Amino acid sequence: SLQDQFDNLEKHTQWGIDVLEKFIKFVKERTEIELSYAKQLRNLSKKYQPKKNSKEEEEYRYTSARAFLATLNEMNDYAGQHEVISENMTSLITGELTRYVQELKQERKSHFHDGRKAQQHIETCWKQLEASKRRFERDCKEADRAQQYFEKMDADINVTKADVEKARQQAQLRHQMAEDSKAEYSSTLQKFNSEQHDHYYTHIPHIFQKIQEMEERRIVRIGESMKTFAEVDRQVIPIIGKCLDEITKAAESIDHKNDSQLVIEAFKSGFEPPGDVDFEDFTQPMKRTISESSLSNSRADGKSEPKFGGKSKGKLWPFIKKNKLMSLLTSPHQPPPPPPASASPSAVPNGPQSPKQQKEPLSHRFNEFMISKPKIHCFRSLKRGGAGPEDFSNLPPEQRRKKLQQKVDELNRDIQKEMDQRDALTKMKDVYIKNPQMGDAASVDHRLAELGQNIEKLRLEVQKFEGWLAEVEGRLSMRSEARRQSGLYEAQNTSAVNSCAQDRESPDGSYTEEQSQETEMKVPAMDFDDEFDDEEPLPTIGTCKALYTFEGQNEGTISVAEGEMLYVIEEDKGDGWTRIRRNEDEEGYVPTSYVEVYLDKNAK
């Protein structure tokens, strides 16, 4: 029926509105996701941004760090595009569709209201037709009964003429009422047919047409919204692509050579590498000579013996960690001596390679060298916040040159600032002289005098630091010239190396000045052991017993007595030497054949 069709259309149009509202909810949740994603991206970018006035800012002079910073900035812009997506979807889809749904609901309500009204009107017309029909039927029956009663009365001879006349009049009245009812029924029927025709061929089709147009507009609108959903994303793709292109460009700008050079420039010390250790011939009784290019302390040039410090603990080179005494304390390069053939090992103290005379071990001379009083502050004072010398003589030559150059540049900038202030005050004074009403010219004289004194002090400072800078640059150039002429690590050219011996760094890593140029600084003996206490010593892997007496006179070896028990810290690696330790300060190599090793099974 028509009512059923209205019910079906009402359900379908309500489903269409539900689809629109579902799409609106979907887009709304998408915008929330975009905003959340953008916020997380911004927080991520902010988290990894370098903090102001921190060490991280210095790291961004490297191209790789700058590329990473550019990536962070581009990710910030990338997050902004996702915020644009959220804003556009909210304004172009969510807001518009929400208003449209409200309008659609009102329109739908109006159409179905008109449909129900038309349906009620036709039902009323039908009821009127039915009532008129029943009335006409009733009047016809009443007229037939009245006619039959008249005919009966007229045929009965016993009825008076007056009764017959009354029956005849009653029959005529009923017949007239039936005619009137017939006319009314006919008119009502014609009216109903007309209304019914208009209802089914005009009113209802018109209402259905409006509902159809409404539904088609809804379908078109949701399709356009889906297109907008895609277009909003597509509009930011070029900008997002540009962000990604910038990230790629930043990555391609990374220059590994440049970064490596920056590291070299930052940590280049300018120290001369130690020269070759001279060969010491023990086969003839002669005075042992030590090359000044070695790591031992030079006693030449009439210099007095350095005083020993209070500690006897061996000192380490400042750039070498504990248990790693450069190559001097590594396994000896010559083959180990064979064990003594006689029953008394002491008769042959050190095999065929042992010298006839006692030789002071190099480690003892190295310790003696390291405990000598340093002439300047060591690195430890700088590391722990101590004040370094004004001329930066505690730094390696190349680093000292950089610091001095920075100081000179800083002082020149200060001088320029003071001169600018003086020029401004001079101009102000000239204005006051020409126009006394503007101010007192004498009021700026005191400030001008102060500026003049400040400039003079700064110039003296510049001269002082420039002198130190010229001195360092002269030494560096002299070293470079010596290195070009003599060649590096050649023992026969020790004279060229010795010519720079007094310019060489001191054992504590500082740069030593000549006695004739500055007064020796009275600094107490400082230990470098504290600087490396964090370094764990090599673990013991077992014990050993000395089968023979061995007087370790070669570099890197240690003396042992027959029957002595010691700790093993490194096995024989095939070269015939075993590394042992007596206590915390004494360790070295002994011939494997001179000891009996007991390894710990649980040792790592």
CA distance 407 to 462: 8
- What are 102-134's pLDDT values in tens digits? 999 999 999 999 999 999 999 999 999 999 999
pLDDT band of 255, cuts 50, 70, 90: very high
Least confident range of 70-79, 170-179, 384-393: 384-393
CA angle, residues 230, 234, 239, in degrees to nearest 5: 155
Whether 327 shows a pLDDT value over 90: the answer reads no
pLDDT band of 54, cuts 50, 70, 90: low
Q: Partners of 597 in the beta sheet?
A: 544
Whether 65 shows a pLDDT value over 60: the answer reads yes
Q: Answer with the residue of higher pLDDT: 593 or 601.
A: 593
Whether 519 shows a pLDDT value over 60: the answer reads no
Q: What pLDDT does residue 382 have?
A: 39
Q: Which of 478, 493, 518 is the last residue of a domain?
A: 478
CA distance 306 to 326: 23
Q: Is residue 507 part of a domain?
A: no
Owner of token pair 């503007």: 438
Residues 6+ apart with CB under 8 A from 132: 181, 184, 185, 188, 189
Q: Residue 550 phi/psi, 5° resolution? A: -130, 120
Percent of the chain exceeding pLDDT 70 equals: 70
Mean per-residue pLDDT, 187-214: 92
Total domains present in the chain: 3
Q: What pLDDT does residue 226 have?
A: 95
Q: What pLDDT does residue 547 have?
A: 92
Q: Partners of 560 in the beta sheet?
A: 550
Angle between helices 96-155 and 204-252 (to 10 degrees): 170
Q: Is residue 459 part of a domain?
A: yes
Domain co-membership, 144 together with 40: yes
Domain co-membership, 548 together with 472: no
Whether 146 shows a pLDDT value over 60: the answer reads yes
Task: Report CA-CA distances (Å) from 469 to 269, 271, 421, 516.
Answer: 15, 16, 28, 17
Domain co-membership, 451 together with 572: no
Q: What pLDDT does residue 112 have?
A: 92
Q: Answer with the residue of higher pLDDT: 468 or 238.
A: 238
Q: What pLDDT does residue 492 have?
A: 45
Q: Which of 235, 262, 289 is the last residue of a domain?
A: 262
Mean per-residue pLDDT, 268-272: 72
Domain co-membership, 469 together with 550: no
Write down the mean pLDDT value for the chain.
76
User: CB count, 10 Å around CB of 243?
Assistant: 21
Q: Is residue 371 part of a domain?
A: no
Q: Is residue 145 part of a domain?
A: yes
Residues in the chain, overall count: 604
Whether 564 shows a pLDDT value over 80: the answer reads yes
Q: What pLDDT does residue 323 have?
A: 43
Domain co-membership, 27 together with 130: yes
Q: Answer with the residue of higher pLDDT: 465 or 499.
A: 465
Q: What pLDDT does residue 521 have?
A: 38
Q: Answer with the residue of higher pLDDT: 19 or 326.
A: 19
Q: Is residue 348 part of a domain?
A: no
Give the three-class secondary structure for 581. strand
Least confident range of 376-385, 526-535, 547-556: 376-385
Domain co-membership, 184 together with 102: yes
Least confident range of 311-315, 420-424, 435-439: 311-315
How does 35-44 read in b/e, with b if 16+ C-beta sit within 10 Å? bebbeebbee
CA distance 71 to 286: 69
Kindly tell me the burial class for residue 181, based on how many C-beta atoms sit within 10 Å of its own C-beta (0-12, 13-18, 19 or more): buried
Instruction: Say what the pTM is.
Output: 0.48
Whether 73 shows a pLDDT value over 90: the answer reads yes
Q: Which of 478, 509, 529 is the last residue of a domain?
A: 478
Least confident range of 55-59, 528-532, 575-579: 528-532
Do the strands 587-591 and 565-570 form a parallel or antiparallel pair, or are they unpaired?
unpaired
Mean per-residue pLDDT, 529-548: 71
Whether 405 shows a pLDDT value over 80: the answer reads yes
HSE-CB at 603 with a 13 A cutoff on CA atoms is 15
Q: Is residue 505 part of a domain?
A: no
User: CB count, 10 Å around CB of 464?
Assistant: 15
Domain co-membership, 201 together with 91: yes
Q: Is residue 304 part of a domain?
A: no
Owner of token pair 């304390």: 329
Domain co-membership, 36 together with 177: yes
Percent of the chain exceeding pLDDT 90 equals: 37
Largest CA distance in the chain: 195
Q: What pLDDT does residue 601 have?
A: 67
Domain co-membership, 113 together with 248: yes
pLDDT band of 201, cuts 50, 70, 90: very high
Q: What pLDDT does residue 602 have?
A: 61
HSE-CB at 183 with a 13 A cutoff on CA atoms is 5
Mean per-residue pLDDT, 180-200: 91
Which of 63-67, 226-230, 358-362, 420-424 is most confident? 226-230
Percentages helix, strand, coil for the chain (3-state, rounded to 5) are: 60, 5, 35
Q: Is residue 375 part of a domain?
A: no
pLDDT band of 392, cuts 50, 70, 90: confident
Q: Write the CATH number for 570.
A: 2.30.30.40
Kindly tell me the burial class for residue 345, based on how many C-beta atoms sit within 10 Å of its own C-beta (0-12, 13-18, 19 or more): buried
Q: Write the CATH number for 96.
A: 1.20.1270.60
Whether 378 shows a pLDDT value over 60: the answer reads no
DSSP type of residue 560: B
Rg over CA atoms, the chain: 57
pLDDT band of 44, cuts 50, 70, 90: very high
Domain co-membership, 555 together with 452: no
Owner of token pair 């996701």: 33
Whether 194 shows a pLDDT value over 60: the answer reads yes
pLDDT band of 340, cuts 50, 70, 90: low
Containing structural domain, residue 413: 392-478
Phi-psi region of 12 (alpha: psi -120 to 50; beta: other; left: phi over 0): alpha
CA angle, residues 305, 309, 314, in degrees to nearest 5: 100
